Structure 1
Amino acid sequence: MEVLVLRRWMRNATENHHRKPLSRFQGYGRSRIRSSAAVVVVVAGLVIPAVSAVPSAAAPQPKPGQFVYVANTQSDTVSVINAATNKVVATIPVGRNPLEVALSPRRTRAYVTNQGTNSVSVIDTATNKVIATILVKDYPFGVAVSPRGTRLYVVNTASDVLSVIDTATNKVLTTIPVGDHPFRVAVSSRVPRAYVTNQDSDSVSVINTATNKVIATIPVGRNPFGFGISPNGTRAYVTNQVSNTVSVISIATNKVIATIPVGDHPFRIAIASNGIYVYVTNLNTDSVSVISTATNKVVATIPVGRNPFGIAISPNCARAYVANLGADSVSVIDTAINEVVATITVGDEPFGVATGGGSSQSGTLLAKIRRSKGRPHPSGFSSRGQGQGWSDPPQSLRSRR
């Protein structure tokens, strides 16, 4: 019942967005389902140690200066968490009903989609101030930054389009029609491609970022949402909310090659940069499934907070951050032992989460880009079709009171 209500609410919220703001579920209190979901985004390397039943004393710790950014949908703010102390150190006012957060490659900017104002807030991470607001189409949701940080991709769920933004001018360059009720967008690190999950079309749109055209549509499970790309760029993973599965896609053929059963109502995905594990949040079982990419089997299940939605991995790979939509909190998982080691109270109805700072791969990726001999393309890829970057990690729904 909870799954059906959440799906119906997501659809109605987007369809009615031009007439009224989001509203809470009727008959559901804060103790169980909230009328939005929490999402976690990562913009750095995701190296996750192997599953271990014994704590490792040598597990790396979050470094000072590493911060986590959390969009609080009902507070209209972004909380800034010091990952070394697990404390909120700043609160940034943004637009109405902020949903998703993505960081630029150098982590100098944070981009926040605001559902209630059809806009994107641009935050200077040095000052924690909003320095620009970009107007987009109806119901901006998922957001991703291109490898060089020159383009911003924003999913407009109620308009069924993807907005392409020039980050130098903060202007929308074009919009790309995709499937029915799109939610998430991811950018490949290997080829000039972006991928958009279409909830009501049960499909994934494949976009050539050099031409801004849809070049393929991949059928997947029922109501796809989360999307992640393996570090070597050969596989993609899609959560199917109603099918309770994860579809494994071959990037080379744009075909589903495996289907993995997971928990009840899976939403978000985070993939280790070593390519060994995939992490999936299960909304109705209050857990995270850990999938082995070698066997396409669930090898561990981690209990977390109530109604987990988003998930992301810290740049130094020591921690996973899970947004619990039913608890206004973020669970911090020690990835060496796959256990929750801290719970952070954030703003009202947290949604998207992004983490940066510390030992990130961003600098290495940028250095590789600078050394590329190919002619740079505005999308962030060279004319040889090779680029450096990561998939947008990584986002859902709550409502306005």
Structure 2
Amino acid sequence: MHDTTHRDNIHGNDTPRNDTPRNNARRTLTKRALSVGAVLVAVALAGCGTESKDQPDKTLGAVKPAKPARPAQPAEPEKPLVRGLPGMPPVLDKTDVYAADRPGRLSPVVKDFPSRVYVPNTESDTVTVIDPKTYQVIETIPVGVQPQHVVPSWDLKTLWVNNNRGHTLTPIDPKTSKAGKPVEVHDPYNLYFTPNGKHAVVMASLDRELVFRDPHTMKRLKTEPVSCYGVNHADFSLDGRYFIVSCEFSGELLKVDTEKMKVVGQQKLPFDGAMPQDVKISPDGKKFYIADMMAHGMWVLDGDKFDKPKLLPTGKGCHGLYVSRDSREMYVSNRGEGTVSVFDFTQDRLTKKWRLPDGGSPDMGGVSADGKVLWLSGRYDSEVYAIDTRTGVQLARIPVGNGPHGLAVYPQPGRYSLGHTGIFR
């Protein structure tokens, strides 16, 4: 039929024109037939090697309906790779070391732990346990002599109380808030964990040592003597390969190679009588901030270069540094004037200052899991402050033991703990 139609079309085109009605009708039919034939020929040619990608079958009788083209998928941005410390969990975001600390992002390890605030009272040799929902003290735990900080372990399963002059660490089960058998550890002023979880690092302040220990048994593995006096606080680089340590009594900073467990840099702060305290890294990992309670501000340091830092005044007795859950701001406690300064990382400047009603001595602490409350110990006033992070309004002022110091809010978001009162990644 295909051939006959084709011949009829050709024959019709060769017929002399005649204007009779019959011939007009014949010409109309002939033109229609020619149009149909042309379409069939085009389709047949398309089936003979000139098909589109949407017509894969080569015989006319086997033509299938064209599959709709898939919409173009946007190319996934390449995740920046960071050559981290061997064994360290991968960096989630090269531009934000605190990416795992968003509100509610609790590890499965801690999701069943009750929310509590643990306050070590250095002069009462106790830990006060507070329910943050009711602002009520629910328990007081006897511990060793001069507890300085309550420190979450790298694996998030244990809270370690640093009994500085008792030369012990008291483990607390955060699921029950019950204390376990103390472990003998000499001069544990503060405690950190390497980002790969391989070592605990004891800040032996008076011993002038950094002591690398087994993170579970606390068995001494290596001792790194230091020439500075009063090692106390630290934070790790983005890749975890080094950490910066403050030496409060000699006004110095150390740079320590994490894997080699060795001091690789040391410098004196450019301020007579400097007394550096807490240390925190910026979200992008490019700067370290070191609180100084005698210089009344934060030193801003390029950790990679470890060159001369610059001082940013914040307030009298600058002491503790705590990053907000959105990584935008950092809360700075000024212990000597009863205030909290707010530093904006995106603007690179101080934007607010909150003053505690009736004064106070805001010291160490942490941010609630939802990011809405900043908790700080009142070092010289035997109290704890709860502060609204949106307004700076004091929500509660809770009496505790004498000399409250490095309190821990627990649990908090994050995959693992680097120590102190809660530095999470």
TM-score normalized with structure 2 length: 0.67
The alpha carbon displacement at 1:189 in A equals 5.1
Instruction: Give, in whole Å, the separation in 2 of the partners of 1:227 and 1:152.
Output: 17
Whether 2:137 is the aligned partner of 1:83: answer: no
1:229 is aligned to: 281
- Residue from 270, 277, 292 that aligns with 2:329: 277
Decide which of 390, 403, 415 is 1:336's aligned counterpart.
390
Distance 1:273 1:105, change over 3 A: farther
Any idea what the Cα deviations from partners look like across 1:337-387, whole Å, max 9, x if unmatched? 122111122222211111122xx432xx36xxxxxxxxxxxxxxxxxxxxx
Per the alignment, residue 252 of structure 1 pairs with 304
Q: Confirm or deny: 8 A CA contact 1:154 1:162 kept in the other structure.
A: yes
Offset of 1:75 from its aligned partner?
2.0
Amino acid at match of 1:67: R
* Letter matched to residue 381 of structure 2: A
Relative to structure 1, is the Cα distance of residues 159 and 129 closer, same or farther in structure 2, using a 3 angstrom cutoff? same
Q: Please report how far the alpha carbon of residue 390 of structure 1 lies from its aligned counterpart in structure 2 after TM superposition.
A: 4.9
**Percent sequence identity over aligned pairs:** 25
Tell me the secondary structure at the aligned position of residue 352 of structure 1: coil
Which one scores higher on RCO, CA 8 angstroms, separation ≥ 6?
1
Moved more, 141-150 or 106-115: 141-150
Give 1 or 2 for the bigger CA radius of gyration. 2
* 2:398 is the counterpart of 1:349: no
As a proportion of its length, which structure holds more strand?
1
User: What SS is found at the alignment partner of 1:316?
Assistant: coil
From the superposition, tell whether residues 150 and 314 of structure 1 become closer, same or farther in structure 2 (CA, over 3 Å): farther
Give unpaired runs (5+ residues) of structure 1.
1-42, 49-62, 367-388, 395-401
**For residue 175 of structure 1, what is the aligned residue in structure 2?**
223
Q: Give the CA deviation at 1:146.
A: 3.3
Aligned to 1:320: 374
Paired position in structure 2 for 1:110: 159
| C-alpha contact 1:310 1:353 (8 A) present in aligned 2 | yes
What is the one-letter code of the residue matched to 2:405? Answer: F
Q: How far apart are 1:105 and its partner, in Å?
A: 4.2
**Distance of aligned partners of 1:96 and 1:391 in 2 relative to their CA distance in 1, 3 Å threshold:** closer
Q: Quick check: 185-194 or 230-239, which moved more?
A: 185-194
Task: Say which SS state the counterpart of residue 117 (structure 1) adopts.
Answer: coil
C-alpha distance after superposition, 1:300-359 (max 9, x if no partner):
1111251221132122211101111222111101111122111122222211111122xx
In the TM superposition, residue 226 of structure 1 has moved relative to its aligned partner by 1.5
RMSD: 2.6
CA 1:46–1:337 in 2, change beyond 3 Å: closer, same or farther? farther
Gaps spanning 5+ residues in structure 2: where? 1-97, 104-111
* Aligned with residue 165 of structure 1, among 200, 205, 213: 213
The 1:390–1:235 alpha-carbon spacing in structure 2 relative to 1, beyond 3 Å, is: farther
In 1, Cα distance between equivalents of 2:401 and 2:326: 33
> Pick from 249, 253, 276: which aligns with 1:204?
253
Contact persistence 1:45–1:273 (CA under 8 A): no
Question: Partners in 1 of 2:346 and 2:233 — Cα distance?
Answer: 25
Query: Superposition pairs for residues 1-150 of structure 1, below 5 Å?
Result: 65-138=114-187, 140-147=188-195, 149-150=197-198
CA distance in 2, matches of 1:47, 1:318: 12
How far the C-alpha of 1:71 sits from its partner, in A, is 0.5
Equivalent pair of 2:237/2:303 in contact (CA under 8 Å): no
Q: 1:84 to 1:327 in 2, by over 3 A?
A: same
Given that 2:150 and 2:421 are in contact with CA atoms closer than 8 Å, whether structure 1 keeps it comes out as no
TM-score for the superposition, normalised by structure 1: 0.71
Q: Is the 8 A contact 1:123 1:132 kept in 2?
A: no
**CA contact 1:228–1:393 (8 Å) conserved in 2:** no
